[in-house]
Structure formats: structure tokens, C-alpha cells
Amino acid sequence: MQQLKQLIFEAEKKRIAIGHFNISDIAGLKAIFKAAQELNLPVIIGVSEGESGFVGMRQTAALIKSLREEFDYPIFLNSDHTHSLEKIKEAVEAGFDAVLFDGGKLPIEENIQKTKEVVDYVKSVSASQGTDILVEGELGYLGGSSKILTEIPKDASINKEDLTKPEQAEQFVKETGIDLLAPAIGNIHGMFKNVPNPNLNIKRIKKLREAAGVPLVLHGGSGIRDEDFLAAIDAGISTVHINTELRLAWRKGIDAALKDMPEEITPYKILPSAVEEIKKVVEKRMKLFNKLD
Ligand code: G3H
Ligand code: ZN
């Protein structure tokens, strides 16, 4: 089976992107896996510290491993937005395929120093076990969290002067040795209910990809316009993170099931409605990222 790194480089070459979808429970995982399988596309499952705290790091890793082995399927697991070396170690020991060390809020020198510590640790483990665990670094602060927004988060970097700068990206990659870079390119975490998220800075993506020399990850995918996604992928994005849209779909599914069956108490009769709603979103996003009809 192909390694995640190879798949990302291939996606980049084909000017498509791999979908990274966050889960909080098995309903989300079932939905994402079904959608990926039906489209026959590789997929990355993400868990933030909050999400893995709920499901369990080792338990999440065991679930992904079981799907990968039983179905011989390219499904990978990423420790999303991880803020300490301690948590990174937990993820690596549990068997994650990739980690994102999130130092986006730190001053660049401190971000470089902490990210490098993570890279050194992960690469030494990878070398000793003959694996290739990917390390993603974050440069520029994205702000917000995966929820419904009513205004642009105050700390979001969407003004041109706050976006990740190509020369800093070059320095960051060179000095840390990361495999993937998550930049601030006008993206924010979370989405508005009735209007799309702000536009991405496509020119900056192109410059960042050239300067960084490593594949770029687009965070805060929920609420972004389709045309913006396609332009961003053409400009150098090869992985896209989606979470809020899935949380919204989960809630929609649960609400509908409870409305239809007000007396129902059996989780496995209520949850399929959430699975269906999440699956629809994942299918739509995967088709777009892979430029399928
Ligand atoms: O890391 C996760 C994401 O960046 C998801 O962002 O909730 O705005 O889709 P989102
Ligand atoms: Zn993110």
C-alpha cells in the first residue's frame, strides 16, 4: 500500500487534494470511510486534542488500523492541532501516521525551536521502526475553532499583513525539517451559516508553495467557496481539512432522527441518520477536491 507522503506528492502532481476529515465518534468514522470507499480515494482521519481526548488516542489508532488492515485501504490518522511534545509522543506511541504540531500562536523563533524538537523526536522514532510518520508545522495563526461563526474571530489572520510570509515559510521549513506546512492564507476555523467564508489569497498560496518547498495543508476548509478550493488546489494545496461542516451534519442527522422517532432510545437506530448526513458532506467535498463529477 502507498505511504501517505507518496499519496500527497501524487495528489500535488495531479493538482488534486486529499481530504482530511475530523471525527469525534464512530458515526463520523463510518461516514467518512464509507464515502472514501465508494469513491475509492485515500483519506486522512484527524483528531484534535479534544476529539482524541473523547475517543481515546490508542482507541482511535486501533480503529483506523483495523479498517486499514481489514479492507487493505489507504486510510491514515493525523494528530491534528497538537500543542505539546508530550501529546505528540502519545500519538506517535499509539501509532498515528502524521502529527501537526501547532505552534501557530507562538513567536516564530519559539515556534521554530518547538517544532524542531517535535521533528527530531518523530524522525528518530520513524527511523528506529522503519516508518515515515509525517510532521506538519503551522506558521501564522488561523484563529477560531470548528464551530458556527457569527463574526470573524478577532485573532484570525485574514488581513494581507497577517498572512504567512514566503520568506518566513522558507526559513521555518529549512530550520525545522517539517514535511508539511499549514500556512495562514485567509483561512479561518469555523464557518458562517448562511454566507461563505472569506476568500483565500491564491497568489500567496502559490508563492508559499515555491518558498516552502514542501506540500501545503489548507486548514479551516468548512464554508470555503468551491471556486476558492479549486484555485487553492491549483496553486499548491494538496491536503484539505474539514471539520465544522461534519459537526453540523452530525447535529442535523441526530435532530432529524429524534424528530422522526421521538420515543427511540437505541443509539444504533438514531446514529445512522448522522452517518448519512456526514457521508453526504464528505462525498461532496471529496468529489470537489479530486475534480470528479
Ligand atoms: O484542523 C481542522 C480544520 O482545520 C477544520 O476546520 O472546522 O473550519 O473545517 P473547519
Ligand atoms: Zn485546523
Rg (CA), the chain: 18
Task: Provide the b/e sequence for 150-170 (b: ≥16 CB within 10 Å).
Answer: eeebeebbbeeeebbbbebbe
Q: What is the sign of the dihedral through the CA atoms of 96, 245, 13 and 183?
A: negative
Measured distance CA(283)–CA(191) in Å, rounded: 19
Q: What is the DSSP string of 16-75?
A: --EEEEE-SSHHHHHHHHHHHHHHT--EEEEE-HHHHHHH-HHHHHHHHHHHHHHHT--E
Q: Which amino acid is at 101?
A: F
Q: What is the mean pLDDT of each run of 10 residues along the chain (293 residues)?
A: 96 98 98 98 98 98 98 98 98 98 97 98 97 97 91 87 97 98 97 95 98 98 98 98 98 98 98 98 98 91
Q: Is the whole-model pTM more than 0.95?
A: yes
pLDDT attached to residue 55: 98
The 3-state secondary structure of 137-178 reads EEECCCCCCCCEECCCCCCCCCCHHHCCCHHHHHHHHHHHCC
* 273: region left, alpha or beta (phi > 0 left; psi from -120 to 50 alpha): alpha
Q: Which domain CATH number covers 180?
A: 3.20.20.70
Q: Which of 152, 242, 278 to mutate to test the pocket of ligand 1 (most atoms within 8 A of CB)?
A: 242
pLDDT attached to residue 15: 98
Q: Give the position, in ligand 1's atom list, of the atom nearest the Cα of 145.
A: 7
Supply the residue whose CA is at minimum distance from atom 10 of ligand 1: 220
Active site residue 132: no
**Four-point Cα dihedral 285, 56, 252, 40, nearest 10:** 30
Q: How many whole angstroms from 258 Cα to the centroid of ligand 2? A: 30
Q: Which of 142, 158, 189, 281 to mutate to test the pocket of ligand 1 (most atoms within 8 A of CB)?
A: 189
Q: Give the position, in ligand 1's atom list, of the atom nearest the Cα of 219.
A: 4
pLDDT attached to residue 142: 86
Give the binding-site residues of ligand 1, using a 6 Å CB cut-off.
22, 46, 80-81, 146, 189-191, 219-222, 241-244
Nearest ligand to the C-alpha of residue 147? 1
- Domain with 241 in it: 4-289
Q: How many whole angstroms from 261 Cα to the centroid of ligand 1? A: 31
Contacts by 53-58, CB closer than 8 A, 24 or more apart? 54/24, 54/25, 55/23, 55/24, 55/25, 57/90, 57/91, 57/94, 57/96, 58/94, 58/95
pLDDT attached to residue 212: 98
Q: How many whole angstroms from 264 Cα to the centroid of ligand 2? A: 35
Number of structural domains (the chain) is 1
